[in-house]
Amino acid sequence: MTLRLLVPLALVAGVSLAAVAQAQTDTSAEKPKENVTRSAAKGATPLPVEQLNLSERLAQHGRATKDPLSLIVAAQIRQQVGVRVIDRRPDGVDAGPSLPAPDVVAGLLDEARTMAKGDQTIVALADDVKASATKGRVGGGVISLGQITGRTVHSRTMNFRARETAEVAAVGTDTDAIMLEVFDEGGHLICRDTDPAYCRFTPAWTGGFTVKVHNNGSSLAHYRLETN
C-alpha cells in the first residue's frame, strides 16, 4: 500500500471525525445575539486545522491499537499541511518561559519505527515520509505552545472575520485532560470539545472571541493550541 493512497482515505475519514466533533456546540437555547452563523454550509474538503486535528486523532488511534501505519499517515498529513509556530501567551497569566517547538512529524515517525519492531515495510514508509519533508515549510496552521498547571484555565482573546470559517484546536502533548471552549464577545458559548479538541464555526460579524484551554487534570501539562 502506498502513502499516495493512504492520505486521501485519511482525509475522507476526517470529514466524519470532524462531524462527530461538532457535537460540542451549544444549541440548548436560542441566542439570537451570538456571533455565529449556525446555518453556514460546511465544505467537503477538510481545512488546515481540521487536518491537524485529524492527524492528532490518527496518532491517538495508532497508539491505542499499536498500529504504526496510523502514526505514519498522521505524520504525512501534518507534514503536508505545514505549520507556523508563534509565541501567543495567555491573557494575564504567567505561563512560564517560551517552549521550544518540537518536531512533531519526526516524533511520530520515530514512534512508528519503534512500534514496527523491525518491520522493514513500515520502516521504509517512515523513511519515505521523512525524505519528502520540506524543511522550514510554512502552511495553513498557526500553533502556539503552552504549559498549564492542574485545574487551571488559560484564556486568549482572538479576532475572527465575518462569514469566514474559523478553526481552533487544542491537544495535550503529555495529557488527555485538555478541554477547549470558545465564547463570543457577549459570553455566548460557541463551541466546546475535549482532547484532542476541535472547534469550527463561522462568525456572523467580525469580532473578538475568547478561547479557553482548560487543564482538567491535577498535574502540570503541556499543550498545543492550533488556529487558522
Give the mean model confidence (pLDDT) for residues 129-138: 67
**Helix (H, G, I), strand (E, B), or coil: what is residue 220?**
coil
Tell whether the model's pLDDT for residue 9 goes beyond 60.
Answer: no
**pLDDT higher than 60, residue 14:** no
Average pLDDT, the chain: 85
Residue 137 sits at the vertex; the CA angle it makes with 59 and 61, to the nearest 5 degrees, is 5
Give residue 45's region: left, alpha or beta (phi > 0; psi -120 to 50): beta
Which residues in the chain belong to E strands, given as ranges?
83-85, 141-148, 152-160, 166-172, 178-184, 189-194, 197-201, 207-215, 221-227
Strand order in the sheet with 152-160: 152-160, 207-215, 178-184, 189-194
Report, in angstroms and rounded to the nearest whole number, the Rg of the chain calculated over CA atoms. Answer: 18
Domains and CATH numbers, the chain: 3-227 (2.60.120.380)
Candidates 125, 128, 78, 126; CA nearest to 102 is 78
Q: How do residues 22-71 score in pLDDT, each as one tens digit? A: 445 544 455 558 999 987 777 677 899 999 999 999 999 999 999 999 99
pLDDT band at 102 (very low <50, low <70, confident <90, very high): confident
Encode pLDDT of 162-199 as tens digits. Answer: 999 999 999 999 999 999 999 999 999 999 999 999 99
149 pLDDT more than 70: yes
pTM: 0.79
Q: How far apart are CA 128 and CA 219, in angstroms?
A: 38
How far apart (Å, rounded) are the C-alpha atoms in residues 203 and 209? 10
